Structure 1
Amino acid sequence: MVWEESIVHDVRLSSVGPGQMSGSDVFHHPGGLDLAMKLHYLRVVYLFDSEASKDVTIMKIKDAMFSWFNHYFITCGRFRRSECGRPFIKCNDCGARFIEGNCSKTLEEWLAIKDCSLYKFLVSHQVIGPELSFSPPVLFQVTRFKCGGISLGLSWAHILGDPLSASEFINSLGRVMNDLGLKLHSNIPRCVPAPGQPGPQKDPISAKRIDPVGDHWIPANNKKMDTFSFHITSTQLNYLQAQIWGPSLHQTPGFESVCAMIWHCVARVRTKSEPKTVTVCRTDPYRKDNDNIGNNQVICKVEAGSECCIVESDLSVLARMLEDEGVDERKEIEEAIERDEGVSDLFVYGANLTFVDLEKINLYDLQLKGQTPRFVYYTIQGVGDEGAILVYPGPHDGKFVTMILPEDEMPKLKSELKINGLLLEDN
């Protein structure tokens, strides 16, 4: 089935900002980790059926957003540069971009599709730049399906915060719409970071420095990237863990087991350049004040060693490496940014083959009229050539996986995933 771009039509654009003024001369200064993520964007789509979206009008959504943005006014600002070139946000209440559209398909027809590329019609893929002062860091899209169902699409500039920040951001909109109020945590703009101690000149392995991108914040890929998503059922996951661990009492969590198998399959595809070093990103288990925006996720390098052959390694060895042997490089990434006073350009996702654990970010906590989404789709824009693998909860059971990898690798990788039981034939 081929669906044309007219699948989403009658598109309207507007802006929504705080209901109250944030004040004059209010500025938010992203920290080093924030700036390291500035070339990445989170794209999330929430699908609700007609029962959940009944009586949810555009006006009701916007009315809730006025109160919501009083709390999240930082996200309604626009980027500027200091005299040295370091980006900061002027909290000028310019607002988030608001997109409305109608879909010519029913929600059931949409859920039946296997082509995840069509989700690009339900969420904006606009990036920041080339004019910083006109580029909103948040874009919000509401699309009505022919059956009355609705999708909410969030486009979130990663410089604002990590996946947990984005999740708390959108979930809090649901709380406002359901008259539950907001948590009392305050999103206070950060001051200019104090100069740190000079760090080592060597860049961290988990981030890659690139030539300056100027004010157009997106990394240039050397390869054409493709995105593919699939569901892993609980039965498949149980079989995979039994295959890796047998009767052992110690089994790594599902995330590491799935990623170990994908790491193995990618190595079989990249026969001339096995990914011996990978990056693992996950929510910081010690993080507090989840309602505050900012990048605090753990970013670990996992090095198998030059003498290790990934293809010949036991899956249990790879899984335990992912679970236990990661070295957190947040401090080194921050030092690399601050060494150049925040003006250098780095990226994290795709600097190495990157595994992103999204299982603890409360993906299904966004509610409309007390009902959770039928399905949530998650992807990242701005992934480097080594690719990224996102693992997050499925709608009912198991896990959902989104892979962003070089297009020429996808056919063979799908074949490897089918051989190893992660991908079913109908996918």
Structure 2
Amino acid sequence: MRCLLLSEHPVQVLFFASFSEKMVKKNSRVSVHSMLTAVSSQPVGSGKTHPLSVLDHAMGLHTVHVVFYYKRNPFGIFDVDPLRIALSEVLCLYPQVTGRLTRGESGNWLVKCNDAGVRVLRAKVEATMDEWLRSADGSEEKDLTFWEEIPEEPSTWSPFRIQVNEFEGGGVAFGLSCTHMNADPTSITILFKSWIESHRQEPIEHPPLFSSTTLHHQQVPNSSIKSDNYYATKGNAETPSVKMVTATFKFSDSAIKKWLDEVHVQCAKATPFELLAALFWTRVAHLKAPKNDNKHSLSICLDFRRLVQPPISLGYFGNALHFSLLTLDEEEMDYGKLGHVVELVHRHISDVGEEEIWSVVDWFESQKEEGGKYAEPFRMYGPELTCVSMEHMIIGHKSLMFSASFKSDEKPVHVSCHVGNVRGEGLIVVLPSVEEGLARTVMVTLPEEEMPKLCEDQAIHCLQPTMLIGGR
């Protein structure tokens, strides 16, 4: 592969002028035409490394893909100097992002902070943005982020990718992807937001925190916490591979308010996430084959940065996710009792506390092999239906996902979040929406044969969703 160093500015960026064939997906409307390697404008100190945490290692089977859509291209051509320089400047704060994965003496993963850089790709989309949002499916949307599986020898492999996709007639989508070991969706969002703040020459609102002691605590482990058994069972579960598809539903502020009023008697303190988690859980349950024990389980994934004391900074770069299980019987899942299910989801989330969170961290630590090597990862998103909350990204009336604005009037019109290697019953991700207030976006990943029925479900259509990617 031939490369050319662009050195007319202090910032050094490698431009790769040719591509291997695997970078271009056949029959895709997304065509990658160039690639850069962006490095930080200031080199990191020699020999610096960053060990991945026990929770980072636990996410080793998954990837994260976040896409930010802008109706208008806010800067014309991507590699203009100010934006390129802003990226290199913000990468000075993220040496773990520009580094490369390697194994330490114990066999655990760590990042060698060697300034190797972040892969940045440019692509053209053979559709307008409106056409794309109407017609693309979840698999095609992933073409907006470029990914290669981690090789056996990852010393030259970039675990972080940024893909800039330009649509016909204007508009651009930024697709960020990484191994889930390196970062969770919150970390990726804050990284992108920091890049834009650097471009606007504004202070970085949430500077990155990479402290390896962040997940250490002083509490006495409680082995009786029920989530410990849940994680142990999950680790032994077998999940056959089937084709999964994704659809996106957008719910307005007024629709969510109306339905929160409907369930107010049963659950006066219900949140939009709890309402939508209960609604989609009950509707997906109706699509599944009856179970022998007449039980339905939902794995609820919460970001715990603000659930512990003292709170962990939103800038903490890594994984701070807690999964816990809620199981109900067939009668409780009846749609006529949606308010009751909302109340049970609300109660379950309210009961998640520090003791349970740290107990799970302790459980993962206890699985170390002799010599200190962490246990092999297992599938965290599965086998049961999993529902992820991004409610913590809304602070007051401000959504951090939609505050990533190149200009004051050019915030994203849509943000999506995919998790790679999901198996089992499926995944529900509840995100903030571009509309302020209680509006939410729900991305649902299910086995292919189940999705058409969900998209036609009348209980969901009572909330009058706008159907986007894969929902038509």
TM bracket, shorter-chain basis:
0.7 to 0.9
Residue 408 of structure 1 deviates from its aligned partner by 2.4
CA change 1:184–1:291 in 2 (3 A) is: closer
Deviations 1:252-289 (A, max 9, x none): 11111111111111221124236633221223334332
Match of 1:149 in 2: 171
Q: Relative to structure 2, which stretch is displaced further, 220-229 or 30-39? A: 220-229
2: CA distance, partners of 1:149 / 1:419: 30
Whether 2:446 is the aligned partner of 1:405: answer: yes
One-letter amino acid matched to 2:337: D
Residue 47 of structure 1 deviates from its aligned partner by 1.4
One-letter amino acid matched to 1:386: E
Match of 2:70 in 1: 48
One-letter amino acid matched to 1:252: A
CA change 1:190–1:300 in 2 (3 A) is: same
What is the percent sequence identity of the aligned residues? 24
Contact 2:267 2:339 in 1 (8 A): no
Residue 154 of structure 1 deviates from its aligned partner by 0.7
Match of 2:259 in 1: 240
Q: Relative to structure 2, which stretch is displaced further, 232-241 or 71-80? A: 232-241
SS at match of 2:454: helix
Match of 2:249 in 1: 230
Match of 2:407 in 1: 369
Deviations 1:143-162 (A, max 9, x none): 12222322111113222233
Residue 396 of structure 1 deviates from its aligned partner by 2.2
CA change 1:179–1:37 in 2 (3 A) is: same
Deviations 1:215-254 (A, max 9, x none): xxxx9753221111121223432343344336x7814111
Match of 1:140 in 2: 162
One-letter amino acid matched to 1:230: F
Out of 419, 424, 427, the position equivalent to 1:380 is 419
Match of 1:67 in 2: 89
Residue 399 of structure 1 deviates from its aligned partner by 1.5
2: CA distance, partners of 1:331 / 1:170: 29
Match of 1:345 in 2: 377
Match of 1:252 in 2: 270
Out of 257, 278, 295, the position equivalent to 2:298 is 278
Contact 1:73 1:93 in 2 (8 A): yes
One-letter amino acid matched to 2:177: S
Whether 2:429 is the aligned partner of 1:390: answer: yes
Deviations 1:357-390 (A, max 9, x none): 1133211121113321122122211223122100
2: CA distance, partners of 1:6 / 1:186: 35
The within-5 A match list for 1:103-122 is 103-113=125-135, 115-122=137-144
Residue 411 of structure 1 deviates from its aligned partner by 2.5
CA change 1:369–1:33 in 2 (3 A) is: same
Match of 1:414 in 2: 455
One-letter amino acid matched to 2:230: I
Contact 2:185 2:417 in 1 (8 A): no
1: CA distance, partners of 2:126 / 2:297: 45
Residue 309 of structure 1 deviates from its aligned partner by 4.3
SS at match of 1:63: helix
SS at match of 1:127: coil
Match of 1:209 in 2: 235
1: CA distance, partners of 2:142 / 2:99: 25
Out of 314, 317, 322, the position equivalent to 2:340 is 317
Deviations 1:390-427 (A, max 9, x none): 01122225221111122222233333355662465974
CA change 1:107–1:192 in 2 (3 A) is: closer
Whether 2:79 is the aligned partner of 1:79: answer: no
2: CA distance, partners of 1:387 / 1:376: 20
Contact 2:37 2:117 in 1 (8 A): yes
Stretches of structure 1 that go unaligned for 5 or more consecutive residues are: 212-218
Contact 2:69 2:412 in 1 (8 A): yes
2: CA distance, partners of 1:88 / 1:65: 23
Whether 2:287 is the aligned partner of 1:289: answer: no
Stretches of structure 2 that go unaligned for 5 or more consecutive residues are: 1-24, 394-399
2: CA distance, partners of 1:4 / 1:421: 38
TM-score, normalised to structure 1, is 0.85
Match of 2:6 in 1: none
1: CA distance, partners of 2:242 / 2:73: 43
Whether 2:342 is the aligned partner of 1:331: answer: no
CA change 1:333–1:124 in 2 (3 A) is: farther
Deviations 1:131-181 (A, max 9, x none): 332332210001122223221111132222332222111100000111114
SS at match of 1:53: coil
2: CA distance, partners of 1:70 / 1:40: 26
Contact 1:12 1:99 in 2 (8 A): yes
CA change 1:199–1:132 in 2 (3 A) is: farther
Contact 1:35 1:337 in 2 (8 A): no
2: CA distance, partners of 1:126 / 1:271: 35
Q: Relative to structure 2, which stretch is displaced further, 182-191 or 103-112? A: 182-191
SS at match of 2:407: coil
2: CA distance, partners of 1:7 / 1:58: 25
Contact 2:295 2:327 in 1 (8 A): no
Out of 323, 328, 339, the position equivalent to 1:299 is 323
2: CA distance, partners of 1:154 / 1:186: 17
2: CA distance, partners of 1:227 / 1:321: 26
Match of 2:200 in 1: 178
SS at match of 1:205: helix
Match of 2:391 in 1: 359
Contact 1:225 1:385 in 2 (8 A): no
Contact 2:252 2:465 in 1 (8 A): no
2: CA distance, partners of 1:6 / 1:225: 18
CA change 1:324–1:400 in 2 (3 A) is: same
